[in-house]
Every structure is written in structure tokens, then in C-alpha cells.
Amino acid sequence: MKREYWIIIIVYIVMQFSSLIGLPVLMLGFKSLGISQNLAIPIWLIASFSLALLIILFLLRKEIKEDSFNKRDHTFGYSVMWAFLGVFLALFAQYVAAIIETLLGIKMGSENTQHILRIIDLFPLAIIVTSIIGPILEEIVFRKIIFGVLHKRFNFFISALISSVIFALAHQEPVHILLYSAMGFTFAFLYVKTGRIAVPIFAHVTMNTMVVLVQTVYKDDIDRLRREAEAVQNFIGGFL
């Protein structure tokens, strides 16, 4: 693996755990200034993710300049087509995985998603992290680097499986490992299909944006449907 790739992975890990130190310090500073400490979380989120993205893009500047993301035997139009198809493919994969999880008795809904929505309700600008910066970082780390390096040694299935499981565990919701892995497989497929990391990035950004907007606008309706689904699941479970 390239030296730059190792540094990128380290930067990503440091970013993920930076809140353990940075957040308490920021909250203390906000308290002394009379600013609501609740704002510390979204502001630290935006600052840490933005800084990590800038560092990673700087480390990849040569590859970006050389257009190394591109696969020369595919046209730009071909990639654009798969970028848009990829959005629906990712949503479909997520839908199928959710159905399977429900059949396995796993409750609907993601605590991670609900936490993100609460942050956005508190500080709407945080949506740039959950819908844009976050997906870009994840595609660079989990698809371009981890999957890309593995795919040089193993076949698609093994490479996608390992990188997708790591991607799923990174979301700290092991109960939904199937859901996240399904998306990981989809984005890995898009990367291999087009050879352009921009394609899964576009699909991931668009999907996250759609999910956040839908769950924000139709929050009450979704909560009602979730309660009804859980009631049906509990009813069926009583006969099994």
C-alpha cells in the first residue's frame, strides 16, 4: 500500500476519535463564552471532517492531477449513466437488506441515523457533513483505498466483502451490518464498473442527501410507519 494511503487511513481514524479530546475542550470554551454547549457537537463535526477532507485531498493531489481515478476505456457519459443508476441501485440494496433484517427480527431504524438527524435539527449546516463530506471521505477510504488495494490481490467478492464489513463496523452499529454491507457492495460495484471513484461518491452523496431530506420532511409519518411495522413484527413473533 502506498505511503499516502496509510497516512489517509490514519487521518481518518484520528478524525473519528478526535471528539474524545476536542469536543470537551470546545464545550468548555463555549461555556466560558456563554454559547450553548449543544452547538459544540455539530461545529466540531464540521470542523474535524472538513479538515480531514482537505488533508486527504492534498495527499491525493498528484493522483487527482493525473486523473488516476479515471478508467480510460470508458467514456464520461458511461460513468454519468452509472452514477445516476447507482443511486437507485444503492437505495434498492438498502431496501432489500432492510427487509431481510426485519425478517431476522432486527428492529427497523438506525440509531446512527437518528443521532445525525438530531444534530441537523440543532444545526442545519451539519448536513454538509452527513450528505457531502462524510460520503466523500468514506468512498476514498473504504472503496478507493481499502477495496482498491484488496482488489489487486483478490477477486471482487472477497475484496468487496472485507471492505464492506469494515465499512459497516465503522458505523458502530453491528446489528445493521447487513444493511451497511449491502451499500458497501453496491458502491464497490460502481467503482469497478466505471473505474472512477467519483461515481460511487456521487451515488453515496445523493443517497445520503435523499435519506436525510426524506426523514427530515416526513419524520412524523416515518415514525408512525416504524411503530406499525414493529407492532406487526411483534405480533408475528408471538406465533413463532
Q: What angle do CA 101, 213, 216 make, to 5 degrees?
A: 80
- Closest by CA to 147, choosing from 80, 200, 96, is 200
Euclidean distance between the first and final Cα of the chain, in Å?
50
Does residue 151 carry a catalytic annotation?
Answer: no
| Identified catalytic residue from 138, 139, 176, 204 | 138
Evaluate whether 125 touches 42 at the Cβ level (below 8 Å). Answer: yes
205: amino acid identity, one letter: V
Grid cell of 180 as nine digits: 451497511
| Identified catalytic residue from 4, 63, 171, 230 | 171
Between CA 198 and CA 136 the distance in angstroms is 9
Between CA 23 and CA 18 the distance in angstroms is 8
- Closest by CA to 117, choosing from 24, 213, 22, is 213
Grid cell of 1 as nine digits: 500500500
Does residue 74 carry a catalytic annotation?
Answer: no
Evaluate whether 151 touches 159 at the Cβ level (below 8 Å). Answer: yes
Between CA 233 and CA 235 the distance in angstroms is 5
Q: Which of the residues are catalytic?
A: 138, 171
